[in-house]
Amino acid sequence: MNIQLFSKNALVGGATQGIGAGIAFELAKSGANVTVMSRNEAKLKDFVSTLPVLNSDHKHKYLVADFSDFENYRKLIAGYFNDHSIDILVNNTNGPEPGLAIEKNTEDYQTAFDLLFKTVCETTLLALPHMIKQKNGRIINVSSLSVKEPIGNLALSNSIRSAVMAWAKTLSNEVAQHNITVNNVLTGYFDTARIQNLIGHEAERTNTSVDEIKNTRESKIPMKRFGKPEEYGHLVTFLSSDYAAYLTGANIPLDGGLNNTY
């Protein structure tokens, strides 16, 4: 299977490191013109310079965007879509702070809702008119296994990502007639800065060593290891291609088999 995304324009959030970077790199390797979003311009410039360029028409860009400031993000992304259209949208943001449900207040949930739900909804609604007009498009949401079984110490993420999943399924039914697919990837444990941060937070909270928590998590995964960002990129590239034209409204676990152990 040779996936070619030449002339396709992709917008990828949270893309200077971790899963977002893995996605952006694999899309670029398949020929897509990739625009990456993050809040750190220096990191964006450096990362864009590493993306594969396959021919003279193959171009990559960046957009400085802070998902945690929704009102400014709304203005920024509206301005972007005034001048650009995309064929592939990968909704991926930084995760909210970890913590227990009994520790969080309503303001915490509102902040998480703005970060995880409103940014996804706003960006998608702006991308859809072009996709509907051309009768083709791909929307991929980076989600979490927590939508199937809540993960301890992630009360905010557990709650809001479930809302995104239900919204995405509803949307997928509405836009399928336009050959637009909407899918969620349910992320397991990947070797990223995010997982290291979560492990560190858990170690501090439980007075346990980082290595012990990491080893415990890996032992529960049938493949006995964390995923690699490029492996995530492989799936998203497939979902972005014509080979996945009949796959929509799906929640796809990418977890080394961990989902089957619930």
Question: Residue 176 — pLDDT band, cuts 50, 70, 90?
Answer: very high
| The amino acid at 213 | I
Q: Which CATH number fits domain 9-189+228-261: 3.40.50.2300, 3.90.1150.10, 3.40.50.720, 3.30.300.30?
A: 3.40.50.720
Mean pLDDT of the chain: 94
Distance CA 165, CA 144 (A): 10
Distance from the first to the final alpha carbon of the chain:
32
Model confidence, pTM: 0.92
Distance CA 194, CA 12 (A): 17
Question: Residue 115 — pLDDT band, cuts 50, 70, 90?
Answer: very high
Distance CA 260, CA 240 (A): 26
Task: Report residue 97 CA to chain centroid gap.
Answer: 17
Domain chopping of the chain, boundaries: 9-189+228-261
* Distances from the Cα of 224 to the Cα of 186, 217, 221, 255, angstroms: 18, 9, 5, 11
